[in-house]
Chains A and B, each alone.
Chain A
């Protein structure tokens, strides 16, 4: 399990947990960063921060400091992950 901020561009993972300040956790989870969700790293901004992620068919960009609060289980598969996987209920 690693932090979302440690996932590199083009890779994806499954959200395991979201920890942090109540406000940050609430906002992140509202946007779809919920345990079991598939998240893919699209790219970093030119100055290194923030980072674009694909989550639930949307593109969301988050700062690294905020991405640290998300724990993910990385997928071993490569760049071309399908855009959506059915999330088991």
Chain B
């Protein structure tokens, strides 16, 4: 970092304003907001300034997350507010409107004391667009040229003093990833807050004609009953300058549509003076920015950055696609080889704990609650964690280094076929491993409708939890035939088809959603491709930590609660019964000498458990819905298994084990379970399972939303209960219809 920015605030504020003698003893924390384009390292800066003291939450009515950090600078308490990344303050959706509301204070809270505009020093020109808009909101601004190190490396020279004078705000250079310039930033921010510029917001750079119309409109609004605080000058200007935007709509609502007429007249008057809205704002701003930039920024002539060279390969017509495929394969390979063993390890740990509890307590409902309800519930949550953490990490790495936008760039054409855009590619790919990180990754999709459609089809991607079910059913019921002279096993073919079934159904589903529920013109696909950079491991780790914590608290509690619920409904609380007697007897025997007796009694216990399940609430419910599942080729036993697996898909295997009196210790490979299923009979002697009903079960699992975790994150990402419910209902319907068709058609072939 070179010289200090030799700016004192009196240089940039109007000379007529007297600076206050001394700031009063600060009581309330200083509220500092951060705003900036995407890809400016704003999150890294936020994390660097706020450390670990970050609280996340939701604003009502929008899906944007609220991130608030706390810090202490020079003994002064600071509250940091991370505003969503945006290219401009021209809101066209509730999410975009949020930044405008927060900065102008018309959301109820007072506006922040200072706002830091984070810019990418290496590509400053367009970033200044937002800066000029923010300067007009009236909140004191500090301009932060982040990624300064990258700019220096590229030979870009920026005269910060001149820039500060032209913009009317202090300019600080930082490199958040290297933690340089942060002290200066903190100092300048605190100073800026203490020596506030005069109350009137800067007149801005738009021409007088526009300014006069804004004033006239504002006066009109106030005279028509709007409170002054409801229509700050900046908000009124947005109403004028953004046809069809959120502000225009709101002001029209608040004035019973009279505003529409006034604003139309204003725009016509301006058009007559060759000041055409909407284009004129951008033209005038960029004219100003152009002159500022030519004055203050100098770079070496004609340099091609490393990024362009790398892009030539990575977005190449042939190699680009191949590399993208390889990256995706790497993702799945890492998941398989790394997270699988970790999950197994966690599983073993839970089993060990369970054994300890079993050894320490006498058999009874409490012990059962702890081992089969609570520990199983905790286990169900934790077993997800390695996979989720890895996926988040991978996604964060790809996003941070800049590759994610290249993948979106290359895949856009394919995604456009179903009405989505390239940004949906990575979230949907991730959902093939697990929909939880996939749904959370949809945050990068700017357009609200596109994001919601992606969120709703993500659970259809065949996730890794469905695999054990497929393997069990295929290896038990699909014959071991081979086609093409040994090259194409039938079982592998069926497995492949089941895995892509969800994807095949998702395509028309997405198309349909886009035509019905989420109808409307999509936003333009304007995708920025930032310079490649080495991902900041601290930022990535931070994000992984935050996401995992969010998962454990939100989705985790749901999984935990549903596990206990299922335990209850499956007869777990049955007290004083034969079951605990048997368990006591088994545990009192010596495994070495009385092995045979233990086996006998264990078999009796398994049969008893099976009967208890049948008479439990769950079992009785399964019987009562039997008419619903019969057309799918199942009976009540399979029905119970399906219901029990609604918290998490793999549960069906353990449940089937219990139903067939094998105990719940089975997995998809256990021959005992496979034999039991093959030989299971209906009351009339017919086999319970045949190929069509096995296929129907797999189809059901392929299309059904049996995952409380996914529903939990959908709730979180859409900030409403409507969409998880919609997802659950629509997918269950699709699953039922799919299984029905499979069984009925299968029986007739």
Which chain B residues border A36 with CB–CB below 8 Å?
286, 290
Q: Which residues of A contact B412 (CB under 8 A)?
A: 45, 49-50, 61, 63
State A26–B413 Cα separation when bound (angstroms): 24
* Bound form: Cα–Cα A31–B279 in Å: 12
Within residues 368 to 417 of chain B, which ones have a CB less than 8 A from any CB in chain A?
A: 405, 409-410, 412-414, 416
- Of the candidates B122, B409, B521, the one having the most CB atoms from chain A within 10 angstroms of its own CB is B409
9-residue interface stretch from B249-257, B294-302, B640-648: B294-302
Report chain B residues within 8 Å CB of A48.
413
| B302 lies within 8 A of A82 (CB) | yes
Question: Do B90 and A60 have beta carbons less than 8 Å apart?
Answer: no
Interface check A76, CB cutoff 8 A? no
Asked if A45 meets B279 with Cβ closer than 8 Å, knowing A27-B523, A61-B529, A83-B299, the reply is: no
Q: How far is the CA of A34 from the CA of B527 in the complex (A)?
A: 17
Instruction: List the B residue with the shortest CB-CB distance to A17.
Output: B279
The answer, among A18, A45, A63, A89, for a CB contact under 8 Å with B315, is A45
Does B486 sit at the interface, judged by CB under 8 A? no
Collect the chain B residues with CB atoms within 8 Å of residue A62's CB: 524-527
Of the candidates B88, B312, B316, B529, the one having the most CB atoms from chain A within 10 angstroms of its own CB is B529
Per-residue A-contact encoding for B156-180, CB less than 8 Å = 1, 0 else: 0000000000000000000000000
In the complex, are the beta carbons of B282 and A30 less than 8 A apart?
yes
> Does B136 touch A at the CB level, under 8 Å?
no
> Which residues of chain A come closer than 8 Å to B25, judged between CB atoms?
none
Q: Check A28 for interface membership: any CB of B closer than 8 A.
A: yes
Stretch at the interface among B16-24, B185-193, B317-325, B660-668: B317-325
* Residues of B contacting A86 in the complex (Cβ-Cβ under 8 angstroms): 290, 294
Contact of A46 among B278, B303, B317 (CB under 8 A): B317
Question: Does B126 interact with chain A (Cβ within 8 Å)?
Answer: yes
Give every chain A residue within 8 A of B311 (Cβ-Cβ).
Answer: 42-43, 52
**Cβ 8 A contact of A45, one of B122, B290, B307, B413:** B413
A43 to B316, CA, bound (A): 9
A residues less than 8 Å from B278 (CB atoms): 22, 25-26, 29
Q: Does A57 contact B (CB under 8 A)?
A: yes
Contact between A32 and B318, CB atoms less than 8 A apart: no
Contact at B529–A31, with CB atoms within 8 Å? no
Could you tell me which residues of chain B, from 33 to 65, have a CB within 8 Å of some CB in chain A? none
Residues of chain A within 8 A of B126, CB atoms compared: 31-32, 55-58
- Smallest CB separation, A87 vs chain B (Å): 4
The residue on B at minimum CB distance from A44 is B317
B306: shortest Cβ distance to chain A, in Å? 13
In B510-533, the 8 Å CB interface with A consists of: 521, 523-530
Q: Is the CB of A37 within 8 A of B524?
A: no
How far apart are the CA atoms of A82 and B302 in the complex, in Å? 4
Contact B414 A47 (CB under 8 A): yes
- A50's partner among B242, B286, B287, B525 (CB-CB below 8 A) is B525
Cβ-based interface call for A2 (8 A):
no
Residue count of chain A within 8 Å CB distance of chain B: 45
B527→A61 contact, CB < 8 A: yes
- B578 to chain A: closest CB distance in Å? 66
Give every chain A residue within 8 A of B312 (Cβ-Cβ): 43
Q: Tell whether, in the assembled complex, residue A46 and residue B320 are in contact, meaning their CB atoms are under 8 Å apart.
A: yes
**Chain A CB within 8 A of B347 CB:** no
Contact B301 A82 (CB under 8 A): yes
B299 contact set on A, CB distance < 8 A: 83-84
Q: Does B125 contact A (CB under 8 A)?
A: yes
B244 at the interface (CB under 8 A from A): yes
In the complex, chain A residues whose CB is within 8 Å of the CB of B416 = 49, 63
Chain B, residue nearest A20 (CB): B524
Is the Cβ of A34 less than 8 Å from the Cβ of B283? yes
Interface membership of A21, Cβ < 8 A: yes
Bound: A89/B205 CA distance, A = 14
Q: Verify B409–A52 contact, CB threshold 8 A.
A: yes
Cβ–Cβ contact B315 & A46, under 8 A: yes
Residues A28 and B526 in contact in the complex (CB < 8 Å), given A23-B92, A45-B412, A46-B321: yes
Least CB distance, B734 to chain A, in whole angstroms:
29
Assess the A46–B316 pair: CB atoms within 8 A. Answer: yes
Complex: A34 Cα to B416 Cα, angstroms:
27
Inter-subunit contact B90/A30 (CB<8 Å): yes
Any A CB within 8 A of the CB of B631? no
Give chain A nearest CB distance to B524 CB in angstroms.
Answer: 5
* Per-residue A-contact encoding for B419-433, CB less than 8 Å = 1, 0 else: 000100000000000
Report the bound CA distance from A37 to B129 in whole Å: 14
- Confirm or deny: B291 has a beta carbon within 8 angstroms of a beta carbon on chain A: yes
Question: B524's contact among A28, A42, A56, A82, by CB below 8 Å, is which?
Answer: A28
Any chain B CB within 8 A of the CB of A80?
Answer: yes
Interface assignment of B346: CB less than 8 Å from any CB of chain A: no
A1 to chain B: which residues have CB within 8 Å?
none
Docked Cα-Cα span, A63 to B411, in Å, equals 12
Contacts of A56 in B (CB 8 A): 123, 125-126, 286
Q: How far is the CB of A65 from chain B (nearest CB, A)?
A: 9
Known contacts A30-B90, A57-B126; is A25 also within 8 Å of B410 by CB?
no
A42/B308 in contact, CB under 8 A: yes
B529 touches A60 (CB 8 A): yes
Residue of A nearest to B318 (CB): A46
Distance A37 CA – B412 CA, assembled complex (angstroms)? 26
The distance from the CB of B130 to the nearest CB of chain A, in whole angstroms, is: 9
Determine the chain B residues whose CB is within 8 A of the CB of A63 once the complex forms: 412, 416, 524-525
Q: CB-defined interface of A50-87 with B at 8 Å, one 1/0 digit per residue?
A: 10100111111111001000000000000011111011
Query: In the complex, what residues of A have CB within 8 A of residue B558's CB?
Result: none
List the A side residues contacting B281 at CB < 8 Å. Answer: 29
A86 and B321 alpha carbons, distance in the complex (Å)? 36
CB of B125 within 8 A of CB of A57, answer yes
B287–A89 CB distance below 8 A: yes
Bound together, the chains give a CA A46 to CA B414 distance in angstroms of 11
The answer to whether the Cβ of B332 comes within 8 Å of any Cβ in the partner chain is no
Q: A29-B282, A30-B87, A31-B126 are in contact. Are A60 and B526 (CB under 8 A)?
A: yes
Q: B266-293 toward A: CB 8 Å interface, digit per residue (1/0)?
A: 0000000000001101110011001100
- Compute how far the CA of A66 lies from the CA of B125 in the bound complex, rounded to whole angstroms: 22
User: Which residues of A sit under 8 angstroms from B90, Cβ to Cβ?
Assistant: 26, 30
A81 to B302, CA, bound (A): 7
Given contacts A56-B126, A63-B412, A26 and B242 within 8 Å (CB-CB)? yes
B binding-site residues for A, Cβ under 8 Å = 87-88, 90, 92, 122-126, 129, 242-244, 278-279, 281-283, 286-287, 290-291, 294, 299, 301-304, 307-308, 311-312, 315-318, 320-321, 405, 409-410, 412-414, 416, 422, 521, 523-530
Closest 7 CB pairs of A and B: A29-B282, A47-B413, A87-B290, A59-B529, A56-B125, A26-B278, A86-B294
Write 28 A-B pairs (CB below 8 A) sorted by A numbering. A21-B521, A23-B523, A25-B278, A26-B243, A26-B278, A26-B282, A27-B523, A27-B526, A28-B526, A29-B281, A30-B90, A32-B129, A42-B311, A45-B315, A45-B409, A46-B321, A52-B315, A57-B122, A58-B126, A58-B528, A59-B307, A60-B526, A61-B528, A61-B529, A62-B527, A84-B125, A86-B290, A88-B290
List 19 additional A-B contacts (Cβ < 8 Å) besides A31-B87, A35-B283: A22-B244, A23-B92, A29-B279, A29-B281, A32-B286, A45-B409, A46-B318, A46-B410, A49-B413, A49-B416, A52-B311, A57-B123, A57-B126, A58-B528, A59-B530, A63-B525, A66-B525, A81-B302, A82-B302
